[in-house]
């Protein structure tokens, strides 16, 4: 059911802004306590921002990296061929910042292809840098439009009054605007559709508590924060009618990598007969990765687990395993929502059709 509403589009804090030859980046590590924009002027600044989760979320990482390539060549003086080689070198470096989100490699491939094309055309390096910046801006702008479409498609899956659970942060902060999994919540708000969102806090780095709860509350969405281990309990109470999450990479067979804990949520959803939806742009679908087992899973520092809440919460010297992502097998995924529409099984076949 769709209702008309007078409410304007809620304002979302922008995670990335190109500003006067620099990338102005919202430091997501400091949220929700502080809203601080960092001014990044070098490729290495961007590399560190990605690695240290100052910017995070698959699409936002890709956008940041695209601007990072521009920062790496904007002071370059020399031949166009050398300029393109430098752009390529900076892109290769940025590709080592984090391994799982395929949007990073997608954006860098696009920037490298543009740089090569400019070099082939013999465009002088200063003009070529401007054209490369236009490409990064284009990636940024396209992401916003894409997410709005994802939100429109995803909203068709929800009805007024439903409880919807999400994990991690796949919102405006993780993208140019709206997010992927959170986009339908913003559109529901615009249209006066009441949804009751439950946000998993998402240990170890608390993207759900610090970011999803923050951005949805700020926008006026009805959001309730729960600890990760409460998801089964709220499902058993009948409060959840759907789960929707984002993803860092969808393999060709429909297996989905997302923030650690997503797989457990999918199993719980299955046990309770609740649909489990995944929202992502086509740039997150990687047909060159055959299955989830082929997706590289980042492992992060043990401190994220042992000093989780700003103080030591585990004994010194304890062995820690800290994977940042897990893989949800395709059979647990009810549907994948993209800008081109909603895809269901058989994923191998239907994901491929999206690219025809």
Residue nearer to ligand MRU on the CB measure, 88 or 255: 255
Rg of the chain in Å (alpha carbons)? 20
Q: Which residue is nearest to ligand MRU (CB)?
A: 246
Quote the strand ranges of the chain, DSSP E: 16-19, 22-26, 37-40, 163-166, 196-200, 223-226, 242-245, 249-251, 256-259, 276-279, 285-286, 325-328, 335-338, 341-343
Within 8 A by CB and 6+ apart from 238, the residues are: none
At its nearest, how many Å lie between ligand MRU and the CB of residue 320?
A: 17
Angle, helix 80-94 to helix 43-51, in steps of 10 degrees: 20
Task: Determine whether the annotation assigns residue 56 to a binding site.
Answer: yes
Residue nearer to ligand MRU on the CB measure, 115 or 168: 168
Answer for which of 164, 174, 197, 268 binds ligand MRU (CB under 6 A) is 174
Distances (CA, A) of 85 to 9, 69, 75, 95: 42, 11, 14, 15
Answer for which of 180, 253, 328, 334 binds ligand MRU (CB under 6 A) is 180
Choices 135-143, 175-183, 218-226, 315-323; region in contact with ligand MRU by CB under 6 A? 175-183
Q: Residue 101 interacts with ligand MRU (CB under 6 A)? A: yes
Q: Catalytic annotation on 294?
A: no
Choices 50-58, 87-95, 236-244, 348-356; region in contact with ligand MRU by CB under 6 A? 50-58
At its nearest, how many Å lie between ligand MRU and the CB of residue 172?
A: 9
**Euclidean distance between CA atoms 218 and 85, whole angstroms:** 44
Q: Residue 64 interacts with ligand MRU (CB under 6 A)? A: no
Q: Residue 59 interacts with ligand MRU (CB under 6 A)? A: yes
Q: Residue 246 interacts with ligand MRU (CB under 6 A)? A: yes
At its nearest, how many Å lie between ligand MRU and the CB of residue 59?
A: 5
Q: Residue 206 interacts with ligand MRU (CB under 6 A)? A: no
Helix (H, G, I), strand (E, B) or coil at 4: coil
C-beta of residue 183 within 8 angstroms of C-beta of residue 147: yes
Which token pair is 62? 């890709």
Which token pair is 170? 């796949």
* Catalytic option among 200, 248, 286, 326: 248
Residues numbered 262 to 321 that lie near ligand MRU (CB under 6 A) are: none
Q: Nearest to residue 151, comparing CAs of 39, 30, 9?
A: 9
DSSP assigned state of 209: I
Residue nearer to ligand MRU on the CB measure, 163 or 261: 261
C-beta of residue 178 within 8 angstroms of C-beta of residue 148: yes
Residues catalogued as catalytic: 248
Pick out the residues of the known binding site for substrate: 56-58, 98, 207, 258-259
Residues at the interface with ligand MRU (CB under 6 A): 56-59, 101, 168, 170, 174-175, 179-180, 207, 246-248, 258-259, 324
């Amino acid at each position: 059911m769709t209702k008309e509403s007078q409410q304007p589009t809620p304002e979302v804090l922008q995670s990335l802004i190109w500003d006067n030859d620099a990338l102005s980046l919202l430091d997501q590590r400091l949220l929700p306590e502080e809203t601080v924009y960092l001014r990044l002027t070098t490729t290495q600044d961007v590399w560190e921002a990605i690695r240290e989760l100052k910017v995070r979320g698959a699409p936002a990482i890709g956008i940041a990296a695209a601007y990072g390539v521009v920062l790496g060549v904007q002071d370059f003086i020399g031949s166009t061929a050398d300029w393109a080689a430098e752009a390529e070198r900076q892109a290769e470096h940025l590709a080592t910042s984090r391994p799982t989100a395929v949007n990073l490699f997608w954006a860098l491939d696009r920037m490298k292809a543009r740089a090569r094309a400019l070099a082939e055309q013999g465009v002088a390096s200063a003009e070529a840098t401007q054209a490369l910046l236009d490409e990064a801006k284009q990636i940024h702008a396209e992401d916003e439009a894409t997410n709005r479409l994802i939100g429109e498609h995803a909203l068709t899956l929800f009805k007024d009054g439903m409880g919807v659970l999400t994990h991690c942060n796949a919102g405006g902060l993780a993208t140019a605007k709206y997010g992927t999994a959170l986009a339908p919540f913003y559109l529901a708000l615009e249209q006066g559709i009441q949804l009751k969102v439950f946000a998993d806090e998402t240990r170890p780095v608390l993207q759900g508590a610090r970011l999803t709860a923050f951005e949805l509350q700020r926008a006026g969405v009805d959001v309730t924060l729960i600890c990760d281990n409460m998801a089964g309990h709220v499902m058993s109470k009948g409060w959840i009618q759907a789960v929707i999450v984002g993803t860092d990479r969808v393999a060709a067979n429909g297996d989905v990598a997302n923030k650690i804990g997503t797989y457990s949520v999918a199993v719980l959803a299955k046990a309770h007969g609740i649909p489990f939806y995944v929202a992502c742009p086509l740039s997150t679908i990687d047909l060159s990765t055959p299955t989830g087992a082929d997706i590289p899973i980042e492992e992060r520092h043990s401190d994220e687990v042992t000093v989780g809440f700003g103080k030591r919460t585990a004994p010194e010297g304890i062995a820690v395993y800290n994977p940042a992502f897990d893989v949800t097998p395709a059979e647990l995924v009810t549907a994948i929502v993209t800008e081109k529409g909603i895809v269901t099984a058989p994923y191998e076949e239907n994901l491929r059709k999206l690219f025809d």
